[in-house]
Amino acid sequence: MSKEEYSNDIKYEKIRETKSSEERRKYWNIAFGMQAVDNLHPSKYMITLSEENIALKKSYETVEKEVYNYYNKKDSKLIDRNEKEADEVSVRIVKILNNQAFTFNFLTLKQYHRKLFENIDIGINEKYIGEFRDYNITKKEEILNGQTVQYADFAMIEDTLKYDFEEELKQKYVDKTDDEKIERLCEFVSRIWQVHPFGEGNTRTIALFIQKYLLSKGFKVNNEMFKENSLYFRNALVRANYTNIEKGIEENKYYLKLFFENLILNKENKLDNNELKIN
3-state secondary structure of 4: helix
Residue with more model confidence, 220 or 253: 253
| pLDDT tens digits, one per residue of 40-87 | 999 999 999 999 999 999 999 999 999 999 999 999 889 999 999 999
Query: Helices marked H in 78-200 — which ranges?
Result: 81-98, 106-117, 157-169, 178-195
| pLDDT tens digits, one per residue of 105-125 | 999 999 999 999 999 999 999
CATH of domain 105-279: 1.10.3290.10
| pLDDT tens digits, one per residue of 188-223 | 999 999 999 999 999 999 999 999 999 999 998 887
Q: Is a pLDDT exceeding 90 seen at residue 9?
A: no
CA distance 113 to 119: 11
Q: Where in the chain is the domain with CATH 1.10.3290.10?
A: 105-279
